[in-house]
Chains A and B, each alone.
Chain A
């Protein structure tokens, strides 16, 4: 198990390096002048432009610029934002809490809604509840998040004054953005869990357990759920990525703090260090989450553990 985890970490490293190179290259290939953006459109003199280019190191060859970025990044220094001179790590730090809050809340909602809904739909296959849940899952995963967000605001904030429309703060500020984020992902999780549950329910051993006289509830809790959870965990791991990217939109709609809204502005302004730093951070997060997902299989399903040990021999 330890060796398996180590191998996953080692695979993650070239992945993160690859992402950082790609982001760097794409940023420099896309037309747009970061100096003009830093000057915020003021009519600057050639000298001022040159001074800034030298200060940012943009006059040096691309590979030296990347090397510098990489060396500093390894030491935890992601450079300084072009627009206001703040350090990228402290900028990410100041916004991270809000994004973590939002994605964790949305992930929990996704898991609860998706797994509970999926099992419920499978158990009542073909019934009213199943039809309703399947409709809701398609509906939830088809609606764009900004639309769901604005509708929730109009309904639950402007019309019925239940939650604040915008801002960052306690639970009340979290409900609407987390729900609009989770609706999309939970629809996907629901369908995966429903299929997996149906598949497990049709296994001969379930019939055998029923024949043994075990209650339906006990069969589902002890045997079916555990098997159906494996695909659910895989999908949830992938959903972390889409929740993070969804946060970019949702944070903007709800006027929330967060690395998503930071990223949008950074891209618009071609703020190289900030975009690079944020992308690197998101890539690392994604790799780590998927690593945790892979490792968690072993705990959920003993068969995976055995396969891993066999693979080692």
Chain B
């Protein structure tokens, strides 16, 4: 939160030079409309980008990934991480004047897990919570059903930004759309014109930035206007032609030329999250066989794919989690490479012989890999599909691409109607692996989980649960290293690239920083 994330590139340091000026309205274009502005109810990235300016969190993550105080001054837990104590900052109020204290924190936590609230993201992050107690005015005790070390990371996400209990009670269900004075962050809500714009203004009473922030007191900007502009070329062109100040998500093809343009600064921030990976449906033949999955992995030339589609903007991933996520296992780097001859041998050994049509066959069946994807897509995933189709054809695998809407893809996944599907998940804790590989999260007709690789491995389940039940760093290091190695050696997923959050701003915009999980933060932003 404090300064520019270490992984960010671009001329951000040069742009930060000079004495900050106060005032001005900063216009930022978003690619899609938020699903709300109540951290307890939202679940989309667009919503988090806005709420991140409005609500302060209890803990912040430094550019290096260290946990630093924000609204909580210190924290501790018992050895299995099942009971946590948080000490809160004194003398803080919400934007409506409601005092920030232990009762307010428990109100936020209880709300996230309350079934009647239908919380999306926040409810998932706090799912294992049993109770929250205000020990004193400024001390909170949180008890979990079992050890829950990822709690600390959860506290840093915009989904657990602190909302004012008074404002929520006053607005009721309407709070999600009209969170007037409900925040605790540097900016407060002004108005939301559906499908058009969201306006925020600086909250003059803000005085509690996280440790390490570049300034104290209120934000420099007087207003922020978020505009909803879905068409990427229009969004970026509007910044270049100075109609708006900044925009998110650049087309990879435009990235290089934008970087050369002196009128704008380009930011490319590696997201601390699960990488973009292809998940096999390991519950379905023939992809339940390790050799078959290995053959696919060997047949893919990832560097070529990334160069052709992303022009080098996205970096190759080697593990299921990104390098800047805690306990990343760097020993996996360069552990495999493109080898189509080896892929052919593996397929031969499994009895899939090259047929007359250029595709392999076995018992009269053609070797097909059904690849489901959503359309329209935001990040050229469909081009990845077509690239895979071409590369895998060379070893005799027929990739059938099924493009569908998001809702249709969800159903296909719940019904297990796929061989492979691209996935990534935005959570900056290694516990993201729990969502991706724990057997409890296998999608089914009655539940929607993210274990799209359909991994049902008791050994991994127990390893991931051990990872939740200790705070011992050395132990965590070894647990998550083993878990990543298990995923890699079983080829449950094939990691392709580290997802990057791209952002472009006019050269008159200074002091944009990105949180550890790559959300932009406009607290210290100013216009010249």
A interface residues, Cβ below 8 angstroms from B: 30-37, 39-52, 83-86, 91, 94-95, 146, 150, 153-154, 157-158, 161, 164-168, 252-258, 261-262, 265, 267-270
Smallest CB separation, A212 vs chain B (Å) = 57
Interface centre among A43, A157, A161, A252 (most CB of B within 10 A): A43
Stretch at the interface among B341-349, B404-412, B453-461: B404-412
Interface residue ranges of B284-330 to A (CB < 8 Å): none
Q: 8 closest A-B pairs (Cβ-Cβ)?
A: A32-B407, A270-B407, A40-B43, A255-B229, A36-B410, A32-B408, A46-B446, A43-B449
Stretch at the interface among B50-58, B118-126, B263-271, B491-499: B118-126
- Contact partner, A257, options B44, B194, B241, B414, Cβ 8 Å: B194
- A45 to B404 CA separation, bound complex (whole angstroms): 24
- CB pair A84–B43 under 8 Å, yes or no, is no
- CB pair B233–A39 under 8 Å, yes or no, is no
Q: Which residues of the partner chain A approach B450 to less than 8 Å between Cβ atoms?
A: 41, 43
- Contact partner, B447, options A44, A150, A166, A262, Cβ 8 Å: A44
B interface residues, Cβ below 8 angstroms from A: 29, 32-33, 35-36, 43-44, 115, 118, 120-121, 123-124, 127, 173, 176-177, 193-197, 227-231, 233-235, 237-238, 240-241, 243, 376, 404-408, 410-412, 414, 435, 441, 444, 446-450
- A85 to B244 CA separation, bound complex (whole angstroms): 31
Which chain A residue lies CB-closest to B124?
A: A42
- Contact partner, B405, options A32, A85, A150, A165, Cβ 8 Å: A32
- Contact partner, B36, options A33, A49, A84, Cβ 8 Å: A84
- CB pair A44–B234 under 8 Å, yes or no, is no
Q: Which residues of the partner chain A approach B405 to less than 8 Å between Cβ atoms?
A: 32, 267-268, 270
Some 18 contacts from A to B, beta carbons below 8 A apart, are: A31-B411, A32-B408, A33-B411, A36-B410, A37-B410, A40-B44, A42-B124, A43-B447, A43-B449, A43-B450, A44-B448, A46-B444, A47-B115, A85-B176, A95-B195, A157-B243, A166-B227, A265-B33
- A30 to B411 CA separation, bound complex (whole angstroms): 10
- CB pair A50–B446 under 8 Å, yes or no, is yes
- CB pair A42–B121 under 8 Å, yes or no, is yes
- CB pair A252–B230 under 8 Å, yes or no, is yes
- CB pair B241–A168 under 8 Å, yes or no, is no
Which chain A residue lies CB-closest to B410?
A: A36
- A208 to B196 CA separation, bound complex (whole angstroms): 58
- CB pair B233–A157 under 8 Å, yes or no, is no
Which chain A residue lies CB-closest to B449?
A: A43
- A48 to B127 CA separation, bound complex (whole angstroms): 12
Smallest CB separation, A124 vs chain B (Å) = 38
Q: Which residues of the partner chain B approach A161 to less than 8 Å between Cβ atoms?
A: 241
- CB pair B414–A253 under 8 Å, yes or no, is no
- CB pair A262–B237 under 8 Å, yes or no, is no
Q: Which residues of the partner chain B approach A256 to less than 8 Å between Cβ atoms?
A: 195-196
Q: Which residues of the partner chain B approach A253 to less than 8 Å between Cβ atoms?
A: 231, 234
Smallest CB separation, B213 vs chain A (Å) = 31
- CB pair A84–B118 under 8 Å, yes or no, is no
- A69 to B240 CA separation, bound complex (whole angstroms): 47
Q: Which residues of the partner chain A approach B124 to less than 8 Å between Cβ atoms?
A: 42-44
Q: Which residues of the partner chain B approach A158 to less than 8 Å between Cβ atoms?
A: 237-238, 240-241
- A256 to B441 CA separation, bound complex (whole angstroms): 39
* Given A86-B177, A267-B405, also A33-B410 (CB < 8 A): yes
Smallest CB separation, B123 vs chain A (Å) = 8
* Given A42-B121, A165-B237, also A85-B230 (CB < 8 A): no
- CB pair B233–A150 under 8 Å, yes or no, is yes
Q: Which residues of the partner chain A approach B127 to less than 8 Å between Cβ atoms?
A: 45
Smallest CB separation, B372 vs chain A (Å) = 11
Smallest CB separation, B189 vs chain A (Å) = 15
- A36 to B32 CA separation, bound complex (whole angstroms): 19
Q: Which residues of the partner chain B approach A43 to less than 8 Å between Cβ atoms?
A: 124, 435, 441, 447-450
Smallest CB separation, B109 vs chain A (Å) = 17
Smallest CB separation, A43 vs chain B (Å) = 4
- A121 to B87 CA separation, bound complex (whole angstroms): 80
- Contact partner, B115, options A40, A51, A95, Cβ 8 Å: A51
- Contact partner, A41, options B36, B43, B194, Cβ 8 Å: B43
- A73 to B450 CA separation, bound complex (whole angstroms): 37
- CB pair B195–A258 under 8 Å, yes or no, is yes
- A37 to B414 CA separation, bound complex (whole angstroms): 12
Q: Which residues of the partner chain A approach B121 to less than 8 Å between Cβ atoms?
A: 40, 42
- Contact partner, B173, options A40, A85, A164, A252, Cβ 8 Å: A85
- A254 to B230 CA separation, bound complex (whole angstroms): 8
- CB pair A39–B120 under 8 Å, yes or no, is yes
* Given A257-B193, A265-B33, also A42-B176 (CB < 8 A): no
